[in-house]
């Protein structure tokens, strides 16, 4: 068992979207801890938000399980290059796809480029997310509300739709929801609303795609130590982040990645329409 850090954490704040290498303590994305066993051999995966945090941990785990990985991200090029380094260290291929998925054309573009490079998509992980913290309803700018929905749920719909012609029976879609879909934090109103939408979207899409043999599931993380936290929360919230969980600490990205591996693998061939919490003991019912 890894002895992961517990709060209180030191004061720190970054500009959105945040840089993983500037965080302290550094998140564990499995760079030196995840060991694969060929569970995704010869598969092709597209992971959004794959430059850092949960996305990086998933991308590294997928590669160590034998998959080639396309990594879509906004503009955190240094973080993305590090993710690519760890993927390529495994002998697998990595395709980096920078750009803003809030734009409709970009959603189509990342799918097209993945299919052009690898010929198909076996696993689609919709993980990219945006959030901001506000203490009152009046403080939320209209354009920020729209951007949160555009990135967190509308892009998910567009990417899934674009990917259909490149996915065959046996393929898997995994969407990142959140414990906020069940226990919405009021200061994350827009984010929590999109995470509820993702849980619902996933459950409906699983039924819609069942006759094609494409499985759809979601993962609902609790507090996970990623750049999203230090770039969108207050210093007080950052210092105590994860303290309210039964385990008394935030999770690390490397602790979330294994459930994505399972859902992406053929071992999960009869699992669809399900939701998996990785919450440090906080229940999702």
C-alpha 177/C-alpha 68 separation (Å) is: 24
**Alpha carbon of residue 118 to chain centroid:** 21
With CA atoms as reference, report the closest residue to 196 among 89, 284, 266: 284
C-alpha 146/C-alpha 102 separation (Å) is: 10
C-alpha 88/C-alpha 92 separation (Å) is: 5
């066993």: which residue's tokens? 37
Q: Could you confirm whether 34 is annotated as catalytic? A: no
Query: Of 34, 73, 191, 276, which is the active-site residue?
Result: 191
Contacts 24+ apart (CB under 8 A), 257-260: 257/29, 257/30, 257/34, 257/54, 257/57, 257/58, 257/60, 257/61, 258/61, 259/219, 260/58, 260/61, 260/62, 260/125, 260/174, 260/219
Q: Which of the 8 DSSP states describes residue 285?
A: -
Burial category of 44 from C-beta neighbours within 10 Å (exposed 0-12, middle 13-18, buried 19 and up): buried
C-alpha 259/C-alpha 13 separation (Å) is: 30
Backbone angles phi, psi at 10, to 5 degrees: -70, 155
Kindly give the interhelix angle for 189-209 and 142-149, rounded to the nearest 10 degrees: 30
With CA atoms as reference, report the closest residue to 237 among 225, 229, 248: 229
With CA atoms as reference, report the closest residue to 233 among 16, 7, 6: 16
Active site (catalytic) residues: 191
């Amino acid at each position: 068992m890894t002895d992961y850090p517990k709060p209180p954490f030191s004061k720190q704040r970054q500009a959105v979207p945040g840089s993983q290498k500037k965080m302290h303590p550094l998140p564990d994305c499995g760079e030196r801890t995840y060991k694969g066993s060929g569970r995704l051999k010869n598969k092709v995966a597209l992971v959004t938000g794959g430059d850092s945090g949960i996305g990086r941990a998933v991308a590294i785990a997928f590669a160590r399980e034998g998959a080639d990985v396309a990594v879509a991200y906004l503009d955190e090029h240094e973080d993305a290059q590090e993710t690519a380094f760890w993927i390529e260290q495994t002998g697998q291929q990595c395709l980096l796809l920078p750009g803003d998925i809030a734009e409709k054309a970009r959603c189509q573009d990342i799918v097209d480029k993945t299919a052009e490079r690898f010929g198909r998509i076996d696993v689609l992980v919709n993980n990219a997310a945006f959030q901001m913290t506000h203490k009152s309803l009046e403080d939320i700018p209209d354009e920020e509300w729209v951007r949160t929905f555009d990135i967190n749920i509308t892009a998910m719909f567009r990417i899934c739709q674009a990917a259909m012609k490149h996915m065959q029976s046996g393929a898997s879609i995994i969407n990142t929801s959140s414990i906020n879909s069940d226990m919405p934090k009021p200061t994350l109103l827009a984010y929590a609303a999109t995470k509820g939408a993702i849980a619902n979207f996933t459950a409906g899409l699983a039924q819609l795609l069942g006759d094609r043999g494409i499985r759809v599931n979601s993962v609902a993380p609790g507090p996970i130590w990623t750049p999203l936290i230090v770039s969108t929360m207050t210093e007080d919230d950052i210092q105590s982040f994860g303290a309210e969980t039964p385990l008394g600490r935030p999770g690390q990205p490397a602790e979330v990645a294994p459930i994505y591996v399972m859902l992406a693998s053929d071992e999960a061939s009869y699992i669809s329409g399900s939701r998996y919490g990785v919450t440090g003991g906080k229940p999702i019912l």
